[in-house]
Structures are given as structure tokens and as C-alpha cells.
A and B are shown apart, each in its own frame.
Chain A
């Protein structure tokens, strides 16, 4: 604020003006707040929230706003904007609404300053010089805080979806299966490899069956990732059997010249599991047969 006013006012005068401004806003807290809420409702913003909720949030935004003007620091407001965003994002509040309400508050306050100093244009000018840069910075802070919080939520959800979409499952001791469903992109392929390697270590797996029945197509880059997954697993001492290759994927693998000697493949998941069990020394026998032996 001082910086912005320097060329028009000495610093002391700027601080004096700001104090006067803050005093004015505190004095008219109730009226201005109500006016603001009225404008929010009128503009049909924050429709996901009830009037009471809007009024409560408006009150704390207002107080934090005046506080930020008074102290000329944004930290408290930043923290408040973050917690506000955390509360309202799950309610489905959009970015334009948040920017909208902050700009409305700016308008409401500016309007009240116009009203107060309308007979003294000179003073009005100086008050606005002090008010505007601060108000813009506050609006900026709140909007950025909201967007950042939203991005954080989105990336968290993306992460969760990815984790969910590639479960590493243990079907027998030392035997993991990794069913892959949907589209494979390089990012997912890498994440999948990391998860699988972690799974191999924690479950002490010796054989892994990767089932790609649910993958319709695969480009050369992803096919290479698959080959890398197989090789990386082998470095940890686990054999990989890939099952459920569609004709298209088989075509891709042949086209990119995958060395099939390195990759064990079986037609379907059942076949893969059978081979895996065999190499682990399991033998599945129907109960009737075992009884006959006993």
C-alpha cells in the first residue's frame, strides 16, 4: 500500500488515510455486510449455500478483509481463504462465484467510500489511491487461494483414482496378480510399475501375472513400458507372466519387435495363474480326487 501511494502521498499520510478507511469500514460493518450479502443473493452467487450460511461466511470474509486492510498483511487472509475453500469446494462452489463475491465486496466498499467523500473529491481520490491497490491484492489472494485449493483437491483425487485403478492383488503366497483395465498412458504405466515393484517387495512375490484383457489397445511407448515392467520385476527376482493379450496388442508387440523370449505370455488369466502355480510348486486338485487318495 505504501508503495502504491508513494508518488502521491507521504507515507505517514497514507497510513493515516488507511486508518480512517478501516475505521469507516468497522463503523459501518453491519450495513455494508448486509448490502454485500444482498448483492450476492441478487447476483445468484453461492446458490449451493443457504442464506444463513452465506451471511456467516460473508461476516468472516468481511472481518478478515478489513483486518487485511488494517494490518496490510495477507497471511491471515491467505490462511482463511484456504480454509474457506476447503469448506466450500465440496459444496460445489465454482471459481467464478468466489471471484464474483470478492469483486462484489470490493464494489460495495468502494461505493460506500464514494458516498462518504462525495463532497470532497480530492480526499476521495486519495482514499481510493490507498484503497484500490490493497483491495486488488486481497481479491487476488482469495481467488488464487481458492484455485490452489481446488487444484490440490483435483490432483489428490486423480492420484486416488489411479491408485484404485491398478490394484496389486495377492492370490497365493508369493503370487500376485495385476489386472489392468482401461486406457494405458505412459504416466499410468510408470505408476503401475512403481506400485507393482513395491508390491513385489512387501509381499515377497516370486511370480506376477499381469492381465491386460481389459486393455483394448496400446501404443509403442506403452508397450515398451510393459516390457520395462517385466524387466524391472525380474531384477527384483519375480517372474512375470502377461495374459490376455488382444490381437491388436499382439500386433503392436510384434511391430515394435519385442523380444518375446523375455516375456512369458499366456492366452488368458486362468492359464497364467496355472503356470504361475506350477512354477511355485502348487497343484490344484479337485476334492473328490484327494479323498480318493486318502
Chain B
């Protein structure tokens, strides 16, 4: 399962289309981190709208991606977390501290826009 990573200006947009295996998740992390530098992106949006489960491994990986992209010079926004997924995550005690979140792709872009203007 490949995760497409699109470039839109200075933003990379990765849409996770379906549940990913742990191996897919790792590959996605590598690919994204490579692209961040090679495409000189300043921000990354990861859309998880199609995921109906975010387990502990996926959550940890997403958190790691956010921290690592920051170290490589880009801000990460996680968008499209479903209400049921959010409920389950907090019940399981899974956190995404330090990762910016937004309702959906549109809101994510608005958020980055505001962030840029503030700079």
C-alpha cells in the first residue's frame, strides 16, 4: 500500500487511503522524510480521514514523523481524524501532543496560511 505524497507549493500533502500495516507505516515515514528535504517543503499535511483506526503504533509513528519533519525544517499538521477515532484514541490514552491538528485538508491549509502570515 503506497501512500501518495503530493506537493502543493511549499506544502507536502500525504493522504493515507486505508489502514496501513506497520511495515507500510515505516516505509511511509522514510518516504515522507526524504521528500521533505528533497522538495524543500516548509509544511506537511497528513490526511487520515480514511483511517477508521489509529492504533498505538500508528499514533507513535505519526508523532515521530511530526518531530522528525520539524527537525528537518517543516511543520506537520494532522487532519481528518474521525470523531470515533478520536474517542477511541483518548480512551486508550494515545496522545498526539505537540502535533498540530485540524478538521480536514481545507482547515489544515488555512491553519498553515495563518501561521505563515504571523511570521
Q: Which A residues are closer than 8 A to B by beta carbons?
A: 190, 193-194, 197-198, 200-201, 204, 206, 228-229, 231-238
Quick check: B89 and A232 within 8 Å, CB to CB? yes
Verify if B116 is at the interface (C-beta below 8 Å from A): no
Chain A residues near B96: list those with CB within 8 A. Answer: 235
Main secondary structure of the interface of A (DSSP, over half): helix
Verify if B103 is at the interface (C-beta below 8 Å from A): yes
Q: A197-B83, A198-B83 are in contact. Are A235 and B107 (CB under 8 A)?
A: no
- Apart from the given pairs A193-B87, A235-B96, 17 other A-B contacts in the complex at a CB distance below 8 Å: A194-B83, A194-B87, A198-B83, A200-B103, A228-B91, A232-B86, A232-B87, A232-B89, A232-B90, A235-B89, A235-B90, A236-B86, A236-B101, A237-B79, A237-B81, A237-B108, A238-B103
Verify if B26 is at the interface (C-beta below 8 Å from A): no
Verify if B3 is at the interface (C-beta below 8 Å from A): no
Neighbour of A234 across the interface among B91, B101, B107, B108, CB < 8 A: B101
Chain B residues near A238: list those with CB within 8 A. Answer: 103
Chain A residues near B40: list those with CB within 8 A. Answer: none
Q: List 12 A-B contacts (CB under 8 A).
A: A197-B86, A200-B83, A231-B95, A234-B101, A235-B85, A235-B86, A235-B89, A235-B101, A236-B83, A237-B79, A237-B101, A237-B103
- A-contacting residues, B58-109, CB 8 Å: 78-79, 81, 83, 85-87, 89-91, 95-96, 101-103, 107-108
Instruction: Give Cα distance in the complex from A261 to B108, angstroms.
Output: 23
A160 CB → nearest B CB, Å: 21
Quick check: B91 and A235 within 8 Å, CB to CB? no
Determine the residue in chain B with the shortest Cβ distance to A195.
B83
Chain A residues near B81: list those with CB within 8 A. Answer: 235-237
Q: Which B residues are closer than 8 A to A by beta carbons?
A: 78-79, 81, 83, 85-87, 89-91, 95-96, 101-103, 107-108, 111
Main secondary structure of the interface of B (DSSP, over half): helix
Chain A residues near B86: list those with CB within 8 A. Answer: 197, 231-233, 235-236
Instruction: Give Cα distance in the complex from A204 to B102, angstroms.
Output: 10
Determine the residue in chain B with the shortest Cβ distance to A224.
B90
Instruction: Give Cα distance in the complex from A139 to B89, angstroms.
Output: 49
Instruction: Give Cα distance in the complex from A235 to B78, angstroms.
Output: 8
A281 CB → nearest B CB, Å: 9
Q: A194-B83, A201-B83 are in contact. Are A231 and B103 (CB under 8 A)?
A: no
Instruction: Give Cα distance in the complex from A235 to B87, angstroms.
Output: 9
A28 CB → nearest B CB, Å: 61
Instruction: Give Cα distance in the complex from A77 to B95, angstroms.
Output: 54
Complex A-B, nearest 4 residue pairs according to Cβ-Cβ distance, in ascending order: A197-B83, A237-B102, A232-B86, A235-B86
A202 CB → nearest B CB, Å: 10
Instruction: Give Cα distance in the complex from A194 to B85, angstroms.
Output: 11
Q: A194-B83, A197-B83 are in contact. Are A237 and B91 (CB under 8 A)?
A: no
Chain A residues near B111: list those with CB within 8 A. Answer: 237
A193 CB → nearest B CB, Å: 6
A293 CB → nearest B CB, Å: 24
Neighbour of B90 across the interface among A198, A201, A228, A237, CB < 8 A: A228
Chain B residues near A232: list those with CB within 8 A. Answer: 83, 86-87, 89-90
Q: A231-B95, A234-B101, A236-B81 are in contact. Are A197 and B107 (CB under 8 A)?
A: no
B64 CB → nearest A CB, Å: 17
